[in-house]
Structure formats: structure tokens, C-alpha cells
A and B are shown apart, each in its own frame.
Chain A
């Protein structure tokens, strides 16, 4: 008889893949609770990049020699890995970028400047990361389009009943939303937003930087038009991200960066652009980092996104249950069963920077600040929050150390 037991991850075995956990800070190993900002790196990814640099490295796409073919195959293999990871219909729809931020800027500039104007409406959310907020605010200003947001309720969840009102403000052309809020952990209903966007004749742009490392992201199931991810939150290196875009939108779209590799032919009077995805990859790309991202995806995929999601959920439940018992801690955002592995909170009467400073002396690494979501901070009525976030290598002991550390914070400054 087969059992349907859900696979779980062996966190202690996984932690051995991450050299940073062997380090001591003030004599203590780190309780790393800042993975929403950036993840730690497994040896498997680092080894793959080292092997690539040592044995497969030459510039891509150009060289006729065998070493260059190896490099090109490594780079294009990484593109196929990203395409499969996102369930993209074609790897030609995967554009490598420097980051999710650059991917979102690419869409805002290259699509937005040609397609937005007075009378059009750009819709973002009140809990957007600045990466999916400021580019649209800027391009809206440049083109004369209006810039509107979907508000959140007191639990940090989108108020979808505001959509009808937004539709009456003009022609909605873009809906841009993150899949998972980096500050609150709210899981946004991006499929529903995408349906609404398409009913308005708008494109749907999803910032999946905070989602893709932790839960399956299927671009076809989401029904989006653009999806941005980044490598460094996903056990990958810095300096590499990717944009998935629907081919029929990417093909007629203007380029973003111009230069080498993105051209088919160049003359003094006329330049013709290259085919997808190269049209959007001017210059020598971060191809060794793309190979690293491919290895990171293989690593995370090997652990299993469903198992990662469940593992983080258990840690969120543990943290929120502990905070529930402490009257001087206030947690922001939705209940545990409707959020990803992120808990933002405030310690009554103590600034988050002081909280984070004292926690650091206990070897507990958390983020304190506005988390690149200042409009959300304004809505919450705070200048900053303290944020603990989890990943596949986080352990219950990290949460215990956080809670114990917060009691020290309260005892010393409260």
C-alpha cells in the first residue's frame, strides 16, 4: 500500500550545505532570520559556479571555439532551468536581468513608455515593494497616466472591493502586484488580480521575488503577463534575476538597454534588433551568475517547494504563537494560515533598530526598517518594523532564540 505522507525536509542535513552556519558571531552561531532580504548560499551552488569559472568559462554566444560553446551551453541551460522552474511555455520568454528590480524597470520603461498616456491608469498595491512601485510611479508621471493603489485592510490584505472604483478612474492599462509581501508575508490573490486586469484590457505584472524561493510559481497558472524573480533570495548569487514575459507582448516591445548582443545588424542609419530573448540582454550578461541561479534552482527544487512552504509555515506558527503570549509585541499582517514565512512586528516603546541591535548581540539576525515599503509603513502607522523571515534552513531553535532575545530587549530598554 502506498502512503500519501507529505514529504518533509531534513533541516539539519540541509544546514550542513550552508558554510555560514559554521561561523560564530560573538561566540555564537547565527540565528539567521533575514532570508526575505537575502538567502544564505549552499555549497552546491557555489561549487557549480566555481566549476563553471574554472572549466567552462569564455564569453557566450560569440566564440566558435569549444570552450565558448561550453559556456554558451551553461548559460542557455540555465535559461531552460528557469523556464521549467516557472513553467514558462518557452525559454525564449526568459530574459536574464541583474535583479527583479531591473526586470520590473524593464517592463515599466520598455512597455510603459510606449503604451501609457493621459487617461490611462496604473494600479499598484499599498503593500508593494518599492521595486514594483517607484518605476510605475515614475513612468506614470512621465507619460501623464494616473497612478492608483489597491488599499489593504487592517490585516494587511488587499481590499478587492476597491477594484470597481479604480476601473471608473480611466482606462486601466497596468496592474502591478507582488505575489508575496516582503514585509507582511501576505499572499496576494494575483490570479484574481490578473483576471480583473485582463477584463480591463490591462497587463498583469507580478513581482514574484519573495514568492519564487518559497512556493511554486507557475506563470501559466497565474495568468500573468510578466513575472519577475531574483536569484539571491533563492539560494543563488547576487547580480542575477529573470523576467518572464508573454511572447506576444515581448516581441513588439521596445528594447530597454541597447548595445552589443541585442542587435541583428547595425548601420549608421539603421539598427535591427535581435530575436527574443537576446533583444533584452544587451552587453555581456551575468552568465556565470545565471549558471549559479540554475544550480540554486536545482538545489531548491531538490528540497521541494511544497516541503519548504510547509517547513516555513510551521516556523511562522511557532513564532506567532509565542508572540501571542507576549502583550508588548504587536504583529502586523494576516493570521499564520494566510501568510508566507515572514513575521513583522513591533516591540512596544522600543525602536526596531534598537531591537535588532540587541538581538544581534545574542546572535539573532533580523531586519529592522521600512523594508522598502514606505507607503505600507504609513498605512500601518509606524516608521519601521522588526522582521523575522524564514527559509529552508531555519530551525525552531532560531525562533526560541528570537523570543528569548526579545525578552532581553524588553528587560534592558523597556
Chain B
């Protein structure tokens, strides 16, 4: 298998070209957006809850590299029907196994962007724990 085929294996290209659960949900119960400063990837994830904390539906929009968008698409399939608490504690390896390609540290940040954003959305709506790297506001400049 060539290096190209390893990284951009068919399922990645499929999710990239035809992302699942694409488009933001209206109405939604939770929403968050995030960026990966390394590649400039952007992802917004919206969530609608069913009974209790069950994630009934999830939709996303974004733009960025194939890995970031495909990984978020795969994530949306992975989380539907599971509870906010469960997903907030979802080990990143579960998603990485699903993605199933060798990732360097830089590309790992692309692959995990959507999961981080989803956890932030769940935190905002349900108070579940934030992922470590999103744990505290690192601050901003806001002129408006």
C-alpha cells in the first residue's frame, strides 16, 4: 500500500467527499466551534438531545484538511445514540481506531479537532468535563 493510500484510505476520502451529518441542526440544544491553528481547520458542531442526555442527532459544518473534516464526519456517526456523559469521557483512541490511519503529532490535532469541539458543546449544554487542552480559557482580544 502506498503512503497515499495509507493516509487517504478509501473511507477517509469517502467521508471527506460525502460527509455524514453535514449541516447544522436547527433547532439545536448545544453548539460550539473551534479551530486548529496549525492547519487553519475550522469545525462547528451542533447537537440535539433526546430523552435524558442521549445525543439524538448531531450535525456539523467546517472547512479544512481532509483529515479534520473526515474525522468529524466519522465522529458524528460514532456518537449518535450515546449519552453526553459517555461522549465527554470518550477516549480519543476510540475515534482514532475508527479513523484507522497512522497520524503524526501535527495531523493528530487535525483528527481530534471535531471531538474537542463536540466535548465543548456538551460542556456548554450539560456541564460535562472539558477536554484537557480546552480546559481553561487562554484569553482573547475582543475589539467589539
Contacts and interface: CB of A to CB of B under 8 A. Distances in A.
Interface string B133-144: 111111111111
Nearest to A68: B106
B105 A269 contact: no
B35 A264 contact: yes
Interface string B101-141: 00011110000000000000000000000000111111111
Contacts of A63: 106
Nearest to A271: B141
A189 B138 CA distance: 33
Contacts of B37: 261, 263-265, 274
Contacts of A275: 133-134, 138
Contact of A69 (B35, B106, B133): B106
B142 A269 contact: yes
Given A61-B38, A264-B37, A265-B37, A271 B140 contact: yes
Given A64-B107, A72-B106, A255 B139 contact: yes
Interface string A36-78: 0000000000000000000000000111101011001100000
Contacts of A261: 37
A270 B144 contact: yes
A261 B140 CA distance: 14
Interface in A80-138: none
Interface in A276-312: 276, 279
Contacts, number: 59
Contacts of A155: none
A272 B35 CA distance: 10
Interface centre among B104, B137, B139 (most CB of A within 10 A): B139
Interface centre among B37, B107, B142 (most CB of A within 10 A): B37
A251 interface: yes
A252 interface: yes
Contacts of A328: none
A252 B142 contact: no
Interface size class of B (residues with CB under 8 A): 20 to 34
A254 interface: yes
Query: Majority SS of interface residues in chain B?
Result: loop
Contacts of B38: 61-62
B35 A265 contact: yes
Contacts of A61: 38, 106
A64 B104 CA distance: 8
B6 to A, nearest CB: 14
A273 interface: yes
A72 B105 contact: yes
Interface in A232-271: 251-255, 261, 263-265, 269-271
Contacts of A255: 139
Contact of A252 (B105, B107, B139): B139
Interface string B7-39: 000000000000000000000000000010111
A381 to B, nearest CB: 47
A62 B141 CA distance: 23
Given A269-B144, A270-B141, A252 B136 contact: yes
Contact of A270 (B104, B105, B107, B143): B143
A188 B38 CA distance: 43
A272 B140 contact: yes
A271 B138 CA distance: 11
A279 B139 contact: yes
A68 B142 CA distance: 33
Nearest to A66: B104
B81 to A, nearest CB: 31
A261 to B, nearest CB: 8
Contacts of A263: 37
Contacts of B143: 269-270
Contact of B138 (A68, A69, A72, A273): A273
A69 B105 contact: yes
Nearest to B33: A265
A270 B35 CA distance: 14
Contacts of A251: 135-138
B37 to A, nearest CB: 5
A185 B140 CA distance: 42
Nearest to B110: A64
Contacts of B136: 251-252
Contacts of A62: 38, 106
A62 B138 CA distance: 20
The 8 closest A-B pairs by CB, nearest first: A251-B136, A273-B138, A265-B35, A271-B141, A272-B140, A273-B139, A269-B143, A269-B144
Interface of A: 61-64, 66, 68-69, 72-73, 251-255, 261, 263-265, 269-276, 279
Given A63-B106, A253-B139, A279-B139, 11 more contacts: A61-B38, A64-B104, A72-B105, A73-B105, A251-B138, A264-B35, A269-B142, A269-B143, A270-B142, A270-B144, A275-B134
